[in-house]
Amino acid sequence: MTGKCRIWRSMLMRWLCRIGRAIQQRQVPRRIEERCAELILSDDKLRDVCQRLLVELNRGLNKDTNKEATVKCFPTYVRELPNGEECGKFLALDLGGTNFRVLLIELGPHIFHMESKIFAVPQSVMLGPGTGLFDHIAECLATFMHENKVDVSPLPLGFTFSFPCSQEGLTKARLATWTKGFKCSGVEGEDVVKLLQEAIARRGDIKIDVMAVLNDTTGTLMACAWKNPACRIGLILGTGINACYVERLENVQLWDGDFDEPNQVVINTELGAFGDNGTLEFIRTEYDRTIDQHSLNPGRQLFEKMISGMYMGEVTRLVLAQLTREGLLFDGMGPEVLFEPGQFFTKYVSEIESDKKGEYTCCRQVLEELGYEDASDEDCANVRYICEAVSRRAAHIAAAAVACLLNKMGQKHVTVAVDGSLYRFHPHFHDLMVEKIRQLINPGLTFDLMLSEDGSGRGAALVAAVAVRIGSLAAR
C-alpha cells in the first residue's frame, strides 16, 4: 500500500470509529438535562463558593467571631511537620474511622515498617459509659503490645480521635460532641487523653507516653509531609469531608500558645459545617434539603451533605427517584428500591461511572442488583448522566474549597494530601478536582493532589515521632 493510501485508510477508520461511538453514546433527552441543570455549577458560582468560604475561615480564625463561626478552624497545636529524620518505634490508636485500629510503626532512615490490627467496638460499648469505651481501647492496646512484644519499656503513642474536639494542647482535646454512631456517657466536654491514660492506669500492665492527639485530617497531612516537604494541606473525602492546612500564626488571632519558631500551626478547619449559617443556599437544591431534613443532625454539616461518601449516593437516589416519578426515567417505572432511603450506595456511582463511554456493563450490574433486570441502553445512559451530574458537583465544590485554601496560603507550590474512599475509588474524582482547582486558583500558583493512604494510622505515629524529635532537640 502506498503512503497516501495508508493515510486515507487510517482517516477513514478514525471517522468510522467516531460515527460508531456517536451512535453508541446515546443522547440524553433535553428534558433530563434541563432537570439536572441546577446540579451544574458555573465557574462564577464556584468562585463565589471560594469567596464565601474565605469569609467563614477568617471568622473562625478570629477570636472575636470564632464563637458564632460555623467553620471553627481549631488550632491543632501541631507546629512542626516531619522532616524524614524521625526514628524509633511508635504506637498509634485510630478511633473514629470505619474501624478501630492499633498500630506499631518503626521509622528510620529509609525504614518504614508497620504492624496493625483491627479490633471490633461492639455497639454496646459505643453506646455505653465512657469508662467502658476507654477500658476497651486500653485492653485492645495491651493485647496488641503483648502480641508484638513491645510491652517492656514505655513507647510514645499518637492518638487519632476523629470526632470534633476543641484542642487545648498537643495532648489535650475535649470532645465537643459525639458523631458517627458513638454516644458514650461522660465523655463530651472531657479531655479524651486523660480518659485514655486513666484507663491504662486502671489496668497497670502496660506503659505508654501519649505524645499527641489529633484527627484524621491532620494525620493525612503528616503522613504525606513525611515523604513530600511541599505538603501543606490535608483533605478527607470519605464518610465525611474535612480539611486542615498550615497557617501562619499572625493569621490565627485565636492562638493562645507561644510565638516561637516555627511561626505556624496546622488548623483543623472542620469545613464540613460550611453553609450551616445559610451562606450556601444559592447552590443548595431540593435534594440537599430533603437529605438534611431526614438526617440525624438537621441544619448541620450542610457542605458535607453535598459532597461526602455518606450522602452522595443518597443525593443521586433522590434525583433518580424524582425524575422517575416525573416519567423522565425508566418510562416512569424504575426499581422499587429507588424509592427507599439509603438503598443507593455511593459506591454504585463509582461503579456506574467506571464503564467506558458508550458501554453499560457495570451500570446494568448495579441496576440488576437493585432488582431491575431489563435496563435499555437509554435507561443506562440516563442513569449515568445523573450520576455524573451529582459526582461532578461534589468534586467541583470540593475543588472550590481546596482552591480557597491555596489562594489564602498564597504559596507558590503546595501538595494536597487526600485520603478517603470517595476520592480513592471514584474513577474521575481526582481528574475533575484537578481540572477545576486549576481554573479557580490565582495565577502563578501550582499544586498537586496526592493520595495519602492510611493517614489516620501512620499520621498519628508521625505526629508522635515529630514530638519526640523536637523534645529531644530541646533537651540537648
Which option in Mg ion, ligand ADP, none does residue 171 bind, with CB closer than 5 to 8 A by kind? none
Other Cβ atoms within 10 Å of 449 Cβ, number? 20
- Joined together, the cell numbers standing for residue 244 give 486542615
Q: Tell me how far, at minimum, the Cβ of 456 lies from ligand ADP, in Å.
A: 7
| From 129-137, 204-212, 369-377, 420-428, span contacting ligand ADP (CB under 6 A) | 420-428
| Residue 98 near ligand ADP by CB under 6 A | yes
**Residue 455 interacts with which of Mg ion, ligand ADP, none, CB < 5 to 8 Å by class:** none
Report the residue number, 255 or 345, with the smaller CB distance to ligand ADP: 345
Is residue 238 near ligand ADP by the rule CB under 6 A?
Answer: yes
Q: Give strand pairing partners of 25.
A: none
- Would you call 185 a catalytic residue per the annotation? no
Nearest approach, Cβ of 142 to ligand ADP (angstroms)?
25
Q: Kindly tell me which of 156 and 313 has the beta carbon lying closer to ligand ADP.
A: 313
Bond from prior residue into 262 cis (ω within 30 degrees of 0): yes
Smallest separation, CB 329 to Mg ion (Å): 34
Q: Which of 151, 162, 191, 379 is catalytic?
A: 162
- What part of residues 272-331 is at the interface with ligand ADP (CB under 6 A)? 309-310
**How far is Cα 7 from Cα 392, in angstroms, rounded to an integer?**
38
Q: Measure the CA–CA gap between 392 and 381, rounded to whole angstroms.
A: 16
Indicate the burial class of 382 (C-beta count within 10 angstroms; 0-12, 13-18, 19 or more): buried
Select from 74-82, 288-296, 328-336, 340-348 the region that touches ligand ADP (CB under 6 A).
Answer: 340-348
The terminus-to-terminus CA distance of the chain in angstroms comes to 79
| Out of 171, 239, 279, 324, the residue judged to bind ligand ADP by CB under 6 A | 239
**For residues 324-383, which are near Mg ion according to CB under 5 A?**
none
Is residue 401 a contact partner of residue 53, using CB atoms and an 8 Å limit? yes
CB atoms within 10 A of CB 343: 17
Q: Which stretch binds ligand ADP (CB under 6 A): 29-37, 282-290, 416-424, 466-474?
A: 416-424
Per the DSSP assignment, residues forming a β-bridge with 173 are 167
390 binds ligand ADP (CB under 6 A): no
Q: What gap in Å lies between CA 349 and CA 386, rounded to an integer?
A: 9
| Residue 82 binds ligand ADP, judged by CB under 6 A | no
Q: Does the footprint of ligand ADP cover residue 421 (CB under 6 A)?
A: yes
The catalytic position among 94, 151, 216, 355 is 216
- Cα–Cα dist 440/312, whole Å: 23
Cell numbers that stand for 71 in this block: 467553620
**Cβ atoms of 126 and 191 closer than 8 Å:** no
Catalytic residue (one of 101, 284, 364, 393): 101
Name which of residues 62 to 101 contact Mg ion (CB under 5 A): 97
**Cα pseudo-dihedral 102, 108, 111, 115, rounded to 10:** -10
Report the alpha-carbon distance of residue 218 to residue 296 in Å, rounded: 26
CB of 406 to Mg ion, least distance (A): 23
Q: Grid coordinates standing for 204? A: 497497670
Indicate the residue among 60 and 240 with the shorter CB distance to ligand ADP. Answer: 240
CB of 78 to ligand ADP, least distance (A): 19
Examine residue 343 and tell whether it contacts ligand ADP (CB under 6 A).
no
* Nearer Cβ to Mg ion (199/266): 266
Residues 258-277 that bind ligand ADP (CB under 6 A): none
Residue 39 identity (one-letter amino acid): L
Length of the chain: 476
**Is 421 part of the annotated catalytic residue set?**
no
Chain centre to alpha carbon of residue 50 = 18
Q: What residues make contact with ligand ADP under the rule CB under 6 A?
A: 97-98, 238-239, 309-310, 345-347, 350, 420-422, 425-426
Please list the active-site residues: 101, 162, 216
